[in-house]
Amino acid sequence: MEARYTAPTVRKAFEILGLLARNGGGLSLSDVSKTLRISKSTAHGIVSALEDAGAIARAGGTKRLTLGVTLFELGSAVRSRMDLARAARPIMEALRTETDESVFLGVRSGDHVTIVDVAESGHALKIAAPVGTGIPLLAGATGKAFLSALSDGDAARLVREKGLRAYTGKSIVDPGRFADELAAVRRDGYSTDDEEYMQGVRAVAAPIPAGQSVAAAIWVVGFTSGIDEERLRSIGLSTKAAAGAISARLAGGKEGP
């Protein structure tokens, strides 16, 4: 069995953060050192690194340590994803029932799209991926859904910087053709993937608007043998409607199941 790296410094950092979370009034460096039974020099080094990252702050200009704004921002991001998943779940399940294919929900995380929820098909043989899986941003239907929200210039710049990878023989690697695909997504409200990311797999994705930006994307994935061109268009319209329903729920509307 492969040895597991325990990262003791990281563990101590989380112990310090947990201690400060339980003591809202703030603690001194000595308090941290004594409570956690670590040397003052070790505590100082970890606290300094956390303070530089904004995870720890000084209370009211004193030397007392409290949690920093970075943790609030991270917590807000996690809470936002949880709210998204809760709002989308019944709509994802309805879309799965309608299409009889696996339905995914994802958010952009830098150069990747991270899956935050999955409603798997009931088929014995199906497309599946666990929550937390990352998909390259420029891959397949999901990439087109997210990039369609960018201006032509910003999308072209991102394509130049990251490049278009050939995952299969059908992958779109020409920037001009990719730009045409983005224009089609803006017109139709959904994108398609005809074996561009995975051989033998077709997908449809739709961006989920949130104000002037895209909060997430929802996509349906199935095997090419079960999704012909006509069914691909039908799924596209259903996925677009699902994205709109999720967007309405996030905004406090009543639309959707």
**pLDDT on residue 3:** 52
Kindly list the domain boundaries of the chain, sorted by start residue: 8-67, 77-250
**pLDDT on residue 73:** 60
CATH topology of domain 8-67: Arc Repressor Mutant, subunit A (1.10.10)
Which sign, positive or negative, has the C-alpha torsion 61, 63, 66, 72? Answer: positive
pLDDT tens readout for residues 149-200: 999 999 999 999 999 999 999 999 999 999 999 999 999 999 999 999 999 9
Strand partners, 105: 117, 218
* CATH 3.60.20.10, applies to 77-250: no
pTM of the predicted model, to two decimals? 0.71
Judged by phi (left if over 0) then psi (alpha if -120 to 50, else beta), residue 69 lies in: alpha
Give the burial class of 196: count Cβ atoms within 10 A of its Cβ; 0-12 exposed, 13-18 middle, 19 or more buried.
buried
3-state SS, 48-93, equals HHHHHCCCEEEHHHCCCEEECHHHHHHHHHHHHHHHHHHHHHHHHH
The H or E element spanning position 116 is strand 112-119
**Region of poorest pLDDT, from 93-102, 103-112, 196-205:** 103-112
pLDDT tens readout for residues 204-248: 999 998 766 677 899 999 999 999 999 999 999 999 999 999 998
Cβ pair 181, 172 in contact under 8 A: yes
pLDDT tens readout for residues 25-62: 788 999 889 999 999 899 899 988 988 888 888 876 67
**pLDDT on residue 91:** 96
